[in-house]
Structure 1
């Protein structure tokens, strides 16, 4: 792999702000992003990426490649939680295994947004329909995780409110905003879209840097308690995303030859949800331990993906 790609990503301002957040926690600094500001920035990022994706989608002609790409994306969210569940349940409870498997089968919108910035750094554009595929990949893993928990849970009296969890997976704020923004971007004319371009485009990287600073602070606070669970969760959270990303970066050549699409498929396969899935599973599987699955996705997998993962997936997408 070209080490220049790795060095280039390691010197990305957004990533450096993430590292600064972790350092701030280690130094016991009082640095923090107010909760309301953090929520606004996360909503802005989802709005921006959805709207821009809708604009790109409006210029696309629906063809067999797009249709097959959608099936490929959904397949990823079924395959990953299924195989990871059986690895996980050998070491941890069925409830925790199901929730973690669902997290790794679903996607991280923030990792996706960071990946879009990485593409722009390499003068490559995101195809709008990949935003739609990302939205499609949010919920199936939750369903798979619930089915697996139901099948293997020894507590016969344990009941899951499937209708509530399905409704939540589709009406979750992050899902609704990015899908809604995609539709609005698709319907908006190029002339009208140009009027808000300074907000949707020019401010994007700055807001991303501040958001990753907040993510670094959050991750740093969770690291200490997470290590008390031993080596297995840490090893899983490091190795499995890299395996998923590399495998699906390679397999994506079956449905597309476009480098940016293949890179995004790898990112979607490698990322783990720490917003939508935990929020949904809190309703469905209250016995699952958030002190385990949240740090795995946020404090380990997320930084692994944006440091080592992205250059690796990009290299495979370009060359294989």
Structure 2
């Protein structure tokens, strides 16, 4: 319970809530778009760089099983999400697959917040976790987009959608940062560490302030989404989080690493997946998949999900 309460007093979470409040009370607060874009680039590149540096000092045997676990969950989770949406929620094939693509992928911001939360508790999650973020972003989207093609030969362009995902800024920055950090190593990274490590938390607070405002703009779509999608956006991530904790501990991740892994697997993408779904599944409704991933699951994970996964991981791994 103490760890749960500490998350609510985190500047990151409070900045997110402030962003929501600002829009609910119709404040004129606005975040300059160029600065928001610059913060996105900074955060993603910083994650990649720090992960690459850690990876350069990590034995291959330590992260091979987490990699296998990540790929496996990247394939399984969109299939589960599609089945729940299609056969329990009665969504049509395009919308079920479109939403499933978001839950098969990952939210990099949720990952960042989970890392920050674990470190605020004095924990040290595995340094190679950013590599798993980059790895998890693509398979789930591919699997989900292939479902309509298999069922009824959907008309969307899979090839173009996959190109959009693989060449997207988040993948380029994460993978590029990983490679640079890996090749540079701890010694060469040291001169730029004050900028990419020291300023990270402050940039994250500003970024979450803007995401709070973005989330608030989607709150009105909850009425259109319906109660089933509201329940889906909370219950399914929790189930995915528990599954990720079990698999993460089995693969050798620490309790802190497994809780961060759970936050990754339970999150819904709202950057890479929407771009791919827009191209491959034009009939899928953005109101449904963006409301689910950004309007429901993201705020749940940021406020309650992350500390909940840590508590569950502690219980399973204790």
Fold equivalence (TM over 0.5): yes
Question: Normalising to structure 2: TM-score of the pair?
Answer: 0.95
Structure 2 equivalent of residue 248 of structure 1 = 244
d(CA) in 2 for partners of 1:76, 1:234 = 23
Structure 2 equivalent of residue 223 of structure 1 = 219
d(CA) in 2 for partners of 1:72, 1:304 = 24
1:49-72 deviation per Cα after TM superposition (whole angstroms, max 9, x unaligned): 110111111111111x41111010
Structure 1 runs (4+) deviating above 6 angstroms are: none
d(CA) in 2 for partners of 1:120, 1:293 = 31
* Pairing partner for 1:10 from 8, 16, 33: 8
Instruction: Note the C-alpha offset of 1:166.
Output: 2.1
* Pairing partner for 2:79 from 78, 82, 103: 82
Is the 1:15–1:212 contact (alpha carbons within 8 Å) kept by the matching residues of 2? yes
d(CA) in 2 for partners of 1:129, 1:191 = 18
Structure 2 equivalent of residue 198 of structure 1 = 194
Instruction: Note the C-alpha offset of 1:109.
Output: 0.5
d(CA) in 2 for partners of 1:309, 1:229 = 21
Instruction: Note the C-alpha offset of 1:127.
Output: 2.2
Alignment of 1:152-163 (within 5 A): 152-153=151-152, 158-163=154-159
1:18-57 deviation per Cα after TM superposition (whole angstroms, max 9, x unaligned): 1111111110111111111111111111011110111111
Q: How many residues align?
A: 314
Question: Normalising to structure 1: TM-score of the pair?
Answer: 0.94
Q: What are structure 1's unaligned runs of at least 5 residues?
A: none
Instruction: Note the C-alpha offset of 1:247.
Output: 2.4
Is the 2:19–2:209 contact (alpha carbons within 8 Å) kept by the matching residues of 1? yes
d(CA) in 1 for partners of 2:288, 2:164 = 22
Structure 2 equivalent of residue 141 of structure 1 = 140
Structure 2 equivalent of residue 125 of structure 1 = 124
Is the 1:52–1:182 contact (alpha carbons within 8 Å) kept by the matching residues of 2? yes
More off after superposition, 143-152 vs 54-63:
143-152
1:146-199 deviation per Cα after TM superposition (whole angstroms, max 9, x unaligned): 11122334xx5x423222222222111111111100110111143331111111
Is the 1:227–1:234 contact (alpha carbons within 8 Å) kept by the matching residues of 2? no
1:243-267 deviation per Cα after TM superposition (whole angstroms, max 9, x unaligned): 1112221232211151222112211
Is the 2:15–2:212 contact (alpha carbons within 8 Å) kept by the matching residues of 1? yes
CA RMSD, Structure 1 to Structure 2 (Å): 1.4
d(CA) in 2 for partners of 1:313, 1:85 = 23
d(CA) in 1 for partners of 2:178, 2:244 = 25
